[in-house]
């Protein structure tokens, strides 16, 4: 008979033995009986391994709370005998050394004279380990939050429940001073409504920003800007709000300073008279000031992000070929660069500006180029005036020289002719001598005619201005000059594209200019060639850069083109100067092209040379067209 049979009936004893739960009996603190489930839980094979032993014999020396197992077991046994039961958790040690946790229920055996106690065991190791893991996580979370550089706070029902060390640094308060306070207390008054409304909607599940910037006030009243990230969480089974905050006061102040600096820069750039465009390192437009807007025809919004070449469209004034991108030049040379002279900016709407400009790199703190700034201004009027002034001064100086030479030379010729007349009268009886005198007079008259041409160059023409047809004048001039070119195997080609070719001017002066061009072409084609005369209409619009310095309006262009030897580029700027000639000594005076230039200037027009050595030459004569009815 087991000891249980002394306590229970055989039926109850059998039931005790077959219980799924672990059950045992303590008498005076010693195990006197246990069922099979107890042995299984303890990892034992026989009752003798447990019977006769105390609870602390089956336990580590100390429980997890550092209290000795013997002392703690005695405490709970005493509580059970006094109160009838006791419930607690206990750490046990199996024979193999492993430990496990059990939930223990001690119940005093009623009517027993001895200190008999029923022990109900239940293995709760998983529960205890899970709770321990949670505790460790909570402790670790607390460690992380306390050491986190960002402020972490929790509020529920409008009160702060938690604040870490970083939060106390932002508010300049101890965490204990924050906890329990209304979560709106330290928010700047004008931001309170926003924070309160966001919190209400968030807890109600309504859509609301989970990240925003807000201004708070410290205990001393100092303003601080924080970037907050807000989420709803659970705290003790109820909804709460967890707030992550970063102090962004320095960033806000820096942004404010930058805005103020940019505003000052914008005001400065908008008030200066130069155009300014800035780009990034790839040449995309970032900023453009009002002057640049006006000159390019691009607005700030349209230009932003566009390639510089599209907005800042520049060409050479004479060749009309595109000029190199200034950004590329700056990036390549790494310093300030300027555009070449005769650079023209083409406005988006077709207007043109002669510009002077410079480009400079924009560096970052490391010295790396992160963009380019271009500064340019309209010098169209100044450019035209300077070029005209230089040309005028040059021609005036040459004209004064020519005038002085002509007068002095004229006086000498007058003396020569007078002496020749006297000598001729004295030599009437000598035919041979009279012939020599006549040749002296002829040579003197040729010199006199050259003197008259010099005088014509040095002063305004006084010829009568009449209306005439350019096409007809060219035909008459060709007929007049034909005897001098027919023996040179030169083919004359006429291509008149102007139907109404009326102009007002001095036809004799213009005819003389054409004759000079014809004979120059003849001399450039000693083996023969082709000489072409063409006319066409030419229009110079307003607001365009005109390298010929002609006034806007309608012109008739007369082109005289030969297939001769051509003129080298290095002397093309000098061909219209008096006495300059490429012909052999004794074969030219150097006044032919000078008279052409003078004739066109007297008609408010101009002459332009286009030539390359070995490819012939073309002279374009521009004369203001007579508008019907004018």
- Domain membership of residue 136 (yes or no) is no
Report the percentage of the chain scoring pLDDT > 90. Answer: 18
- Integer Cα distance of 99 and 15 in angstroms: 29
Structural domain span for residue 69: 4-130
CB 470 within 8 A of CB 623: yes
Give me the CATH number covering residue 82: 3.30.450.20
pLDDT score for 162: 85
Question: Which parts of the chain register pLDDT below 50?
Answer: 1-2, 4-5, 8, 11, 461, 586-587, 628-630
Q: Are residues 28 and 42 in the same domain?
A: yes
pLDDT score for 113: 65
* Interstrand relation of 99-108 and 211-217 (parallel, antiparallel or unpaired): unpaired
pLDDT score for 120: 93
pLDDT in tens, 225-277: 999 998 888 777 788 888 988 999 999 888 888 888 777 777 777 777 788 88
Q: Which of 217, 252, 287 is the last residue of a domain?
A: 252
Q: Are residues 336 and 450 in the same domain?
A: no
- Domain membership of residue 260 (yes or no) is no
- Integer Cα distance of 38 and 41 in angstroms: 5
Q: Are residues 483 and 581 in the same domain?
A: yes
Q: What is the pTM of this model?
A: 0.41
Q: Are residues 361 and 428 in the same domain?
A: no
pLDDT score for 149: 81
Q: Are residues 610 and 477 in the same domain?
A: yes
Q: Are residues 587 and 601 in the same domain?
A: yes
- Domain membership of residue 629 (yes or no) is no
- Integer Cα distance of 417 and 447 in angstroms: 11
- Domain membership of residue 550 (yes or no) is yes
pLDDT score for 630: 47
- Integer Cα distance of 457 and 38 in angstroms: 136
Hey, what are 620's tokens? 């374009």
Q: Are residues 425 and 479 in the same domain?
A: no
pLDDT score for 102: 93
* Interstrand relation of 529-540 and 490-496 (parallel, antiparallel or unpaired): parallel
Q: Are residues 161 and 44 in the same domain?
A: no
- The H-or-E segment that residue 168 falls in is helix 165-171
Number of domains in the chain: 5
- Domain membership of residue 619 (yes or no) is yes
Q: Are residues 333 and 413 in the same domain?
A: no
- Domain membership of residue 258 (yes or no) is no
- Domain membership of residue 91 (yes or no) is yes
Q: Is 114 exposed, middle or buried (0-12, 13-18, 19+ CB in 10 A)?
A: exposed
Q: Which of 130, 158, 175 is the last residue of a domain?
A: 130
Q: Are residues 454 and 473 in the same domain?
A: no
User: Which residue is associated with the tokens 């009815």?
Assistant: 629
- Domain membership of residue 140 (yes or no) is no
Q: Which of 252, 286, 311 is the last residue of a domain?
A: 252
pLDDT score for 535: 92
Q: Are residues 179 and 158 in the same domain?
A: yes
CB 560 within 8 A of CB 521: yes
pLDDT score for 174: 86
Give me the CATH number covering residue 570: 3.30.565.10
- Integer Cα distance of 451 and 272 in angstroms: 55
Residue 488 neighbours by CB under 8 Å, 6+ apart: 522, 525, 526, 528
Three-state DSSP class for residue 20 = coil
Q: Are residues 171 and 187 in the same domain?
A: yes
What are the counts of helices (DSSP H) followed by strands (DSSP E) for the chain? 18, 24
């Amino acid at each position: 008979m087991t000891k249980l049979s002394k306590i229970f009936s055989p039926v109850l004893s059998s039931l005790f033995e077959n219980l799924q739960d672990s059950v045992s009996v303590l008498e005076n603190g010693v195990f006197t009986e246990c069922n099979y489930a107890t042995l299984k839980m303890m990892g034992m094979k026989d009752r003798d391994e447990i019977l006769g032993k105390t609870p602390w014999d089956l336990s580590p020396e100390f429980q997890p709370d550092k209290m000795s197992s013997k002392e703690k077991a005695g405490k709970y046994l005493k509580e059970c005998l006094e109160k009838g039961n006791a419930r607690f958790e206990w750490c046990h040690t199996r024979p193999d050394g492993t430990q496990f946790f059990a939930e223990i229920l001690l119940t005093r055996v009623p009517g027993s004279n001895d200190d008999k106690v029923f022990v109900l065991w239940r293995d709760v190791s998983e529960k205890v380990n899970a709770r321990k893991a949670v505790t460790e996580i909570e402790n670790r979370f607390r460690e992380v939050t306390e050491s986190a550089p960002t402020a972490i706070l929790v509020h529920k029902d409008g009160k702060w429940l938690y604040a870490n060390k970083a939060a106390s640094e932002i508010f300049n308060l101890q965490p204990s001073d924050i906890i329990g306070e209304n979560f709106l207390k330290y928010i700047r008054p004008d931001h309170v409504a926003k924070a309160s409304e966001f919190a209400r909607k968030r807890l109600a599940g309504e859509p609301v920003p989970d990240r925003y910037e807000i201004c708070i006030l410290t205990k001393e009243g100092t303003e601080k800007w924080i970037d907050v990230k807000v989420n709803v969480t659970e705290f003790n089974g109820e909804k709460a709000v967890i707030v992550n905050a970063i102090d962004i006061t320095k960033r806000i102040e820096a942004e404010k300073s930058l805005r103020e600096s940019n505003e000052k820069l914008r005001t400065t750039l908008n008030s200066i008279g130069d155009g300014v465009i800035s780009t990034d390192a790839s040449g995309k437009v970032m900023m453009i000031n009002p002057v640049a807007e006006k000159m390019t025809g691009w607005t700030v919004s349209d230009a932003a992000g566009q390639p510089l070449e599209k907005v800042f469209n520049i060409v050479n004034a004479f060749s009309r070929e595109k000029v190199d991108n200034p950004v590329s030049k700056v990036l390549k040379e790494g310093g300030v660069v300027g555009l070449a002279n005769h650079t023209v900016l083409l406005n988006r709407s077709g207007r043109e500006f002669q510009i002077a400009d410079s480009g400079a790199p924009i560096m970052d703190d490391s010295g790396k180029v992160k963009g380019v700034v271009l500064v340019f201004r309209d010098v169209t009027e100044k450019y035209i005036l300077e070029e005209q002034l230089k040309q005028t001064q040059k021609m005036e100086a040459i004209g004064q020289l020519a005038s002085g030479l002509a007068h002095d030379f004229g006086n000498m010729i007058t003396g020569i002719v007078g002496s020749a007349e006297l000598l001729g009268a004295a030599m009437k009886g000598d035919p041979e001598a009279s012939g020599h005198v006549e040749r002296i007079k002829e040579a003197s008259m040729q010199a006199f005619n050259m003197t008259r041409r010099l005088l014509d160059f040095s002063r305004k023409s006084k010829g009568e201005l009449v209306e005439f047809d350019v096409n007809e004048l060219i035909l008459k001039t060709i007929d007049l000059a034909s005897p001098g070119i027919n023996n040179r195997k030169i083919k004359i080609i006429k291509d008149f594209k102007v139907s109404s070719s009326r102009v007002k001017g001095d036809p004799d002066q213009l005819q003389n200019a054409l004759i000079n061009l014809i004979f120059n072409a003849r001399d450039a084609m000693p083996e023969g060639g082709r000489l072409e005369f063409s006319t066409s209409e030419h229009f110079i619009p307003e607001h365009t850069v005109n390298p010929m310095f002609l006034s806007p309006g309608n012109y008739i262009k007369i082109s005289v083109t030969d297939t001769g030897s051509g003129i080298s580029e290095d002397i093309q700027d000098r061909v219209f100067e008096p006495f300059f000639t490429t012909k052999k000594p004794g074969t030219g005076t150097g006044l032919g092209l000078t008279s052409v230039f003078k004739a066109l200037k007297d008609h408010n027009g101009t002459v332009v040379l286009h030539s390359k050595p070995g490819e012939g030459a073309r002279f374009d004569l521009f004369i203001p067209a007579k508008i019907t009815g004018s």
